[in-house]
Amino acid sequence: MVVGLAVLWPGGAPPHERTGVGFDRQTQQATVTKVVEVSCKDVNASGETPTGDTSTAEGSSAQQQANGTCKRATIRVDTGKDKGRTFTEIVQPDQSRQLHEGEKVVVAYEPSAPRDLQYSVTDVNRRLPMMVLAGIFALAVVVVGRLRGVMALVSLAISFLVLNFFILPAILQGSNPLVVAVIGASAIMLVALYLCHGLSARTSVAVLGTLISLLLIGILGSLFIDWAALTGNTDDNTGLIHGLYPSIDMSGLLLAGIIIGSLGVLDDVTVTQTSAVWELHEANPAMGWRELYRAGIRIGRDHIASVVNTLVLAYAGAALPLLLLFSIAQSSIGTVANSELVAEEIVRTLVGSIGLVASVPVTTALAALMVSADRPGGEQAAPSGATVAAPTRGGRGRRRKR
């Protein structure tokens, strides 16, 4: 893993000329300083063209728009070389985003456009509520988790650093997305598990179980993405990426997303199973590895049922608008499942779920073998009628029949 990081470490994302499309635009922070109501008829007569989000519901009356009340917003640019410059924007009454005085917004800048049209509002500035929410999350983690919570936040920060400074730039640089994802995910996993749970045999078993499961996910994902002819280029964002960097393997990018997306849940499963086996061993050190495995797998079955359901619902929730569109179109289940947009989510969900299910027996078996190897006598059963001392608090043993 260390060698892979050293070999594939990028020098930064390769530069490109901005297209001015989607996220590939120059943006600045701005403030709405004034909003006045004007007649839409007067606006249309004066030739002013609304900018920004002008989408309207299909079937809305053009006459109602013409006779309605529009808004003329004055926006002040707060950052960049044009700081302090103002421009106006017309907001139609049926636009989904209405501007309000004092509101913080994000504006796009297009230097090649006429001066009056160089700036336009593209979004609302949500930094403050997002930062407050992140602060509440961090506080809750620290209050409940204490030192473990602090370590979890540190590992989360390191995960974002690996993602932003290694995985994303390396893929943009043209490295194989699968190789980059496996190396990056392994680095994230090692840091997160050892930082949160300490350097111990128990953590090492969880790491090994996670690596084996990630390997299985990678193999299955590669096989079924190729077999189902998934291109990974299914929406405007992936289309823009492919247009800017044609050398990127989009199907490989899809597979990399599956691996990284499965990692977080895999960590949860492997750590839980390992801890369960260790606790079973502490409760009854006389148990052999087969007994430990059978007891641990019973716990794992409950874990599998809840985790798989969680993963499926998470992907379904992310794709809910898309599923709603298919429902509106009254498409059959076969038609919906066969479309590439939905097929990607199905493959992503099922491949990740198979890896999760496989991680339970794999990790349980590894943990059972590890803890039973430390037990004197290995798998040898105690003679019939013999007594063994089960450790209790304070170091004294309690005699019991076997």
DSSP string, 33-68: EEEEEEEHHHHHHHT----S-----TT--HHHHHHS
DSSP per position, 237-291: HHHHHHHH-TTS-HHHHHHHHHHHHHHHHHHHHHHHHHHHHHHHHHH-TT--HHH
Say what angle helices 201-227 and 177-197 make with each other, to 10 degrees.
160
The predicted pLDDT at position 180 comes to 86
Q: Does residue 362 carry a pLDDT above 90? A: yes
Question: How are beta strands 26-39 and 104-109 bridged, if at all?
Answer: antiparallel
C-alpha 258/C-alpha 241 separation (Å) is: 18
Cβ pair 89, 126 in contact under 8 A? no
203 or 399, which is more confident: 203
Confidence band (pLDDT; 50, 70, 90) for 58?
very low
Q: Does residue 381 carry a pLDDT above 60? A: no
The predicted pLDDT at position 136 comes to 96
For residues 365-379, average pLDDT: 72
Q: Where are the domains of the chain?
A: 26-52+64-125, 198-379+386-395
The predicted pLDDT at position 329 comes to 65
Confidence band (pLDDT; 50, 70, 90) for 131?
very high
Least confident window among 56-65, 282-291, 358-367: 56-65
User: Domain 26-52+64-125, CATH 2.40.30 — does that match?
Assistant: no
Q: Does the model's pTM come out above 0.85?
A: no
The answer for residues whose C-beta is within 8 angstroms of residue 357's C-beta and 6 or more apart is: 304, 308
Residues 193-203 have pLDDT tens digits of: 888 888 888 88
Q: Does residue 271 carry a pLDDT above 80? A: yes
Say what angle helices 340-373 and 289-318 make with each other, to 10 degrees.
160
Task: Provide the token pair at 397.
Answer: 């043993």
Confidence band (pLDDT; 50, 70, 90) for 21?
low
C-alpha 44/C-alpha 337 separation (Å) is: 45
